[in-house]
Chains A and B, each alone.
Chain A
């Protein structure tokens, strides 16, 4: 086929991997100019795709496991999303259950616990944004200022390590540290003459504990991206600044921080896009009914409603709501990122 030959001449490596999507105007022109022009619309697209698959079937074989994984575990279960609009019964099955329109959503939004979960989700995300988001940036700036190579490596490794510990173990550590009987915090409090505090049962302490331990676990690892951004700064800028008379602090202020700002902005936008996603497992491991008031988030609400209380339709409705909001946030963040930093995910 003429288009195949043209494709090869244009060196369209990445194009092939894109399943026949015409990615460059030049190629589009070449293709439609070919003797076997595929035409427009879905049929043309399918024809190009089939031609691509025939030619580069090895690449598609490599891609297949991922596509199958998506299809089986992410797209097929979406069929079940319809129970958000049904009065689902285990015995009647998904198809047999009667449609109830938006009544599950009405129930949900009349449920004060769900509204509380939304509030908690947003508050935990907001406090994380305020307190946890700047930490890796600050850490990276501090690592960058360490002059002794060996000491810097040790400091970095120590801060990276908690990231590799399972969240279950982290929760275990936190529970142990804060235990009223043998936890080191309470032991110290007792030694200093204070009363022991059962931290994990007091709602007011939940958010600081959750966010604080998350900072301890992730800040070091997240600082890698900022360290990479710092490593990309032209060293001549610092030399030039030294000659211009800048102190180390001024170099950080006038060179390092402005240079990594685009990265910070992108990370911030991505974080805002994920605001509705709060570490579900970690909350489930740390919270208890006494702290639901501040700890119960949308994800834990769905888990309890859907799986523990067998309110499948309510759980599905809450999950769908969560997904729609998350989608809007991610989409919005992506558009914002494209506008602010000319970088976007799609």
Chain B
């Protein structure tokens, strides 16, 4: 186990910058997830930590050792790849033993470590099979087994669940989390799926365009998003964003509707802003804003309403989620009341959060 420290890390391909100076500290035993849309640089960052990509500027430390110029095999890390990267001509046991064979470990040690990893992952009966004879979930487990036998300081996961179907993904998610709780190895995990990030991470790093937008615990990010991007990226369905300005009686949306604001926002009267409210933080009340229902999506446990808030010049789509069932049909007008304690305000120009 080891901590990982990244200082002002930059990466360019030719003249195209990919990472613009990332700094983060990952504690010993922590499970950190790098999340962001495609092309945000999260995989590049992970691959730089792994040593598969060179460092343009900045510093990477694993423990106290600067590893910028240390080859991957000497970094004491293990990586699980998106497409598993299992050696197709080797059996499960040979795949897991490969790094130990290269290290010239003794046969007894190899057998013991492979058996141990297989037991942790429930692969004991599959050791003689080839990867093509395994299901996606089993392959994923072998890939993890290959990482476990190395007993590395840091585990790196590069979108390991994206090739699995939805059900298996949920199962593997909890298996990886359980594995981390058992092994307590520092883990850095890349995904573009915010649900994966929310459910597994100790801390999440949200990235966009090669820049770190925010780092924090999942609930910090959910409750206190630093900007509109984080607000819209974390949480599903995404946070509603209503542009307008702060008025004396509340937030005046561009549609002309007045929405409730906490008193702390009064100091900002006149400022152009975006009113953020999550779909799950609204209730049905006669005093709420009138919206026209466009679509009703019942999932059984909850109901998702896609609605439209219309003004004389513009209209805004609003999504609302309610536990249980809602007696609404497309075309109906309902009244949605935002929970004042859950309102977020962001600067219209910069997108930065302007209210605690």
Contact A250 B102 (CB under 8 A): yes
B87 contacts A243, C-beta separation under 8 Å: no
| Nearest chain A CB to B140 CB, angstrom units | 14
B87 touches A237 (CB 8 A): yes
| A243 engages B89 (CB within 8 Å) | no
Interface size of B as a range: 20 to 34
Partner of A245, one of B52, B83, B87, B102: B102
In contact, A258 and B89 (Cβ under 8 angstroms): yes
- A198-220 interface (Cβ within 8 A of B): none
Q: Does A131 contact B (CB under 8 A)?
A: no
The answer, yes or no, to whether B207 is at the interface (CB within 8 Å) is no
**Is B182's CB within 8 Å of the partner chain A?**
no
Give chain A interface residues in 217-274, CB to chain B under 8 Å.
Answer: 234, 236-237, 239-246, 250, 254-255, 258-259, 261
For the complex formed, measure the closest distance between the CB of A239 and the CB atoms of chain B, giving whole angstroms: 5
A234 contacts B89, CB within 8 Å?
no
Q: Specify which chain B residues have a CB less than 8 angstroms from the CB of A245 in the assembled complex.
A: 73, 99, 102-103
Contact check, A237 vs B85: say whether CB atoms are below 8 A apart.
yes
Cα–Cα, bound, A244→B149 (Å): 11
Chain B residues, CB < 8 A from A240: 79, 81, 85, 87, 146
Q: Is B72 an interface residue (CB 8 A)?
A: yes
B72 adjacent to A243 (CB under 8 Å): yes
Q: How far is the CB of B175 from chain A (nearest CB, A)?
A: 20
A240 to B79, CA, bound (A): 7
Of all chain B residues, the one with the shortest Cβ separation from A240 is: B85
In the assembled complex, B98 has its CB within 8 A of some CB on chain A: yes
Find out whether the CB atom of A254 lies under 8 angstroms from the CB atom of B98.
yes
Closest Cβ of chain B to A126, distance in Å, is 29
Q: Which of B29-79 contact A (CB under 8 A)?
A: 50-52, 71-73, 77-79
Do A234 and B73 touch (CB < 8 A)? no
In whole Å, how far is A122's beta carbon from the nearest beta carbon of chain B? 33
**Residues of B close to A234: CB separation below 8 A:** 83, 85
Picked from B85, B102, B150, the residue with its CB within 8 Å of the CB of A239 is B85
B286 CB-CB contact with A under 8 Å: no
Q: Which residues of B contact A236 (CB under 8 A)?
A: 81-83, 85
CA distance A261 to B89 in the complex (A): 10
B residues 102-145 with Cβ under 8 Å of A?
102-103
Could you say which residues of chain B place their CB within 8 Å of the CB of A255?
87
Residues of chain B contacted by A250 (CB below 8 angstroms): 102
Find chain B residues with CB under 8 A from A261 CB.
Answer: 89
B102, closest chain A residue (CB):
A245
Asked whether A243 lies within 8 Å of B83 as measured between CB atoms, the reply is no
Known A237-B85, A239-B81; further 9 A-B contacts with Cβ < 8 A:
A234-B85, A239-B79, A243-B73, A244-B73, A244-B102, A245-B103, A254-B87, A258-B89, A259-B88
9 contacts between A and B (CB under 8 A): A234-B83, A236-B81, A237-B85, A239-B52, A239-B85, A242-B51, A242-B73, A245-B103, A250-B102
A-contacting residues of B (Cβ < 8 Å)? 50-52, 71-73, 77-79, 81-83, 85, 87-90, 98-99, 102-103, 146, 150
Enumerate chain A interface residues (CB-CB to B < 8 A).
Answer: 234, 236-237, 239-246, 250, 254-255, 258-259, 261
